[in-house]
Amino acid sequence: MTETPSFLAPLHAISGVRAGWVERIPDLPITGDRDQAMSQLRPAHAAALAAFAGPSAPCWRAEQVHGNTVALAPGSQEIIAPDGLPCIPDADGLITCEPGIVLAIYVADCGAIWLADRKTGAIGLLHSGKKGTESNIFQKALERMAVQFGTCPEDVTAVLGPCIRPPDYDIDFAAEIGHQAERARVGNFIDCGLNTASDLTRFYSYRKELGKTGRMMALIVRDSQP
């Protein structure tokens, strides 16, 4: 498992919350599409998940279709993804308030957004690239957390992870995510500022590698209620 990066520190400052981030897997050549890449990455990601939360921890994944649907975990129906593991269909975001439930999102230029409510104990994890940002999955997640858990945006810490940025991409969706956080009155928003296309020793980049690339894995779990 990649050493926990400093940009996740604000989440770890919240009692009971742990966040994880798995970067590029060294010496693992990937030359196929997403389904092939996910199958190739499965052993490394499974080992990282076990190190993060234990070998038997329940892990929930989103199908990730570049939409703005946010699903509750557990409580949502699942399908089997091409890599053989279950995922929630049509979802690009996941939320939970149950301790011990691991949420996982995969990215390669799109941004992972970690969410943690300091008061209610709710957590979330979003996949927000160009399309997800345009349809404001961030706001959708906050609204769903408010309905499900009583979350107030002022109590939320949100972190945007590495994603593609100018000059390697003509749309600065990371900046727009920051504006969305401000408009939503999120209490604490952190943008790590890292560009996935600028360092292929650390990150996968769908655009830079012309679609033949792997995926980074973002994780979050709450070990206990606040």
Q: How confident is the model at residue 225 (pLDDT cuts 50, 70, 90)?
A: confident
Rounded alpha-carbon distances, angstroms, from residue 112 to 20, 132, 183:
11, 11, 19
Fold of 6-221: CNF1/YfiH-like putative cysteine hydrolases (3.60.140)
Q: CA 80, CA 201: separation in Å to the nearest integer?
A: 31
Rounded alpha-carbon distances, angstroms, from residue 27 to 15, 30, 209:
36, 9, 16
Q: CA 188, CA 7: separation in Å to the nearest integer?
A: 13
For the segment 38-58, the average pLDDT, to the nearest whole number, is 93
Note whether 82 and 61 are within 8 A (CB).
no
Domain boundaries, the chain: 6-221
Block residue for tokens 């969305």:
180
Residue pLDDT, tens place only, 59-91? 999 999 999 999 999 999 999 998 889 999 999
For the segment 184-195, the average pLDDT, to the nearest whole number, is 98
Asked if the model's pLDDT at residue 220 lies above 70, the reply is yes
**Which helix H or strand E contains 31, and what residues bound it?**
none
Of 190, 194, 196, 195, nearest to 177 (Cα)?
A: 190
Give the HSE-up count for residue 185: Cα atoms under 13 Å, Cβ half-sphere: 6
The residue among 31 and 94 whose pLDDT is bigger is 94
Note whether 66 and 128 are within 8 A (CB).
no
User: Which residue stretches of the chain are H helix?
Assistant: 9-12, 34-53, 130-134, 137-149, 173-183
Asked if the model's pLDDT at residue 55 lies above 90, the reply is no
pLDDT reported for residue 2: 54
Asked if the model's pLDDT at residue 32 lies above 90, the reply is no
Q: What is the pTM of this model?
A: 0.96
pLDDT reported for residue 186: 98
For the segment 203-218, the average pLDDT, to the nearest whole number, is 96
Amino acid at residue number 40: Q
**Mean pLDDT score of the chain:** 95
